[in-house]
Amino acid sequence: MSSSIGRVLIVAGSDSGGGAGIQADIKTVTALGGFAMTAVTAITVQNTLGVTGVHGVPLDIVAAQIESVVTDLGVDAVKTGMLGTAATVEVVAQALARFAPDTPRIVDPVMVAKGGHPLLEPDAVVAVVAHMIPGAALVTPNAPEAERLTGLPVANLDGQRAAAERLVELGARAALVKGGHLDGDILRDVLVTADGRTLVVEGPRIATRATHGTGCTYASAIAAFVARGADLETAIRSAHAYLAEAIRRAPGLGAGHGPLAHGWPFADGGR
């Protein structure tokens, strides 16, 4: 049974600074009219200047959170973020296969924090390719992540498209390779689907240091729209517009890479 409110289960790490991770995901889903639920995989010590500590949640607790949420509240979309270790990847994949096998999964392969701290162990990259990409409704890597997942160079639009095609070959139903890490005044995200469709979503680069949590926010916004019944292309376009406005309205907090204005739809009636 689906829910018109759009129930999103977020499986990811916690960000004590509130700009990324579970906190950004909850804010995003809520701002877009959905109902956010969580399975926390790790607790991080971080702020806008970077990550200084990571404490993984016990694997049985990660799996139990997923079971508890899905069997009672139900779920319309799953968004995965920071998983951290190969063991966590495998446990999450197993739990989702058991309790939410037909629920669309938006997989954000979080590998490195904005400040450069690694958030995915090297052997976990192999686990993501083996266990999270196959069957995913959408995989949303940035250019460096796409390079690590596929082994292909991603330096331009052609590289983005090739990497997205490779991720689909690896079993994803669709792949969105983001262009925020590439040069240029116009940023382009390239979607490739298993049925051969290609979509390029573009927008101007916004001159700002408020870029903390953009990947988490983008993927969660897509999940929120999918959970409420939007088709994938509509969800991506809508999420892209939401993200751009959240960046433009960023509150200017912190001394490093600042957080976004996730709640902007509530401000002045969303004007």
State the Cα–Cα distance between residues 13 and 9, nearest whole angstrom: 13
Return the H-helix or E-strand segment holding 163.
Answer: helix 157-169
179 among known catalytic residues: no
Angle of CA points 203, 34, 189, to nearest 5°? 20
Q: β-strands 35-47, 77-80: how paired?
A: unpaired
Q: Which of 48, 216, 217, 258 is catalytic?
A: 216
Which of these is catalytic: 178, 193, 196, 258? 178
Exposed e or buried b per residue across 199-224, where buried means at least 16 C-beta atoms within 10 angstroms of its C-beta: eebeeeeeeeebbbbbbbbbbbbbbb
Reading phi first (left if > 0) and then psi (alpha if -120 to 50, else beta), residue 270 is in left
Decide if 203 is catalytic.
no
- Which one of 44, 211, 217, 258 is the catalytic residue? 211
Q: Which of 88, 140, 214, 217 is catalytic?
A: 214
Q: Of 17, 213, 217, 258, which one is the catalytic site residue?
A: 213
Specify the amino acid at residue 23.
Answer: Q
Residue 178 is among the residues annotated as catalytic for this protein: yes
Of 28, 215, 217, 258, the catalytic one is: 215
27 is an active site residue: no
What is the C-alpha to C-alpha distance for residues 208 and 171, in angstroms, rounded to an integer? 36
The residues carrying an active-site annotation are 178, 211, 213-216
